[in-house]
A = this chain, B = another copy of it.
Amino acid sequence: MSNRQTQINNLITLLRESGFRITPQRRAVMQILVDNKEHLDTDEIFNRVRKEYPKVGLATVYKTIAMLKGIGEITELKFNNQNRRYESSGSAPHSHLVCTKCNGIFDFNNDALGNITSDIMEETGFNISNYRLDFFGVCHDCQSGKNN
């Protein structure tokens, strides 16, 4: 079974266990979030679900996103002047490279913060459970003028 299928099945099991019902709309939203690593925003998710279910309501998409966020299966990202974006929480710890010209968002896998985190916990008494690290700058394509 493909990894993609496994992820969806795990999600469905989790939803059932949490007392949520499995509907085609919810399946579609989950499928889209698992398949796409592009940090989609609500509108993009809505439009993709609508291709499959033209009658779906925007509110349903919002409610599904809220549910997935509530059980911790997706993470919400908000960058300046952009709509909220979502990524599935399952992926490895990573930071984001945000291009201030084209608004592109690129993942960068790194584990360099492990030591820093424990240092800060010791120093401050703060009990850190996760972090978010975003770098802002200009991506390679925008530097070379490809996106103009």
List residues of A whose CB falls within 8 A of some B CB: 76, 78, 80, 97, 99-100, 106, 108, 110, 112, 116-117, 120-121, 124-140, 143
Contacts and interface: CB of A to CB of B under 8 A. Distances in A.
Nearest to A144: B125
A1 B48 CA distance: 59
Nearest to A108: B120
A74 to B, nearest CB: 12
| Oligomer: number of copies | 2
Given A116-B112, A120-B97, A132 B129 contact: no
Contacts of A100: 129
A127 B106 CA distance: 13
Contact of A136 (B80, B108, B132, B138): B132
B116 A140 contact: no
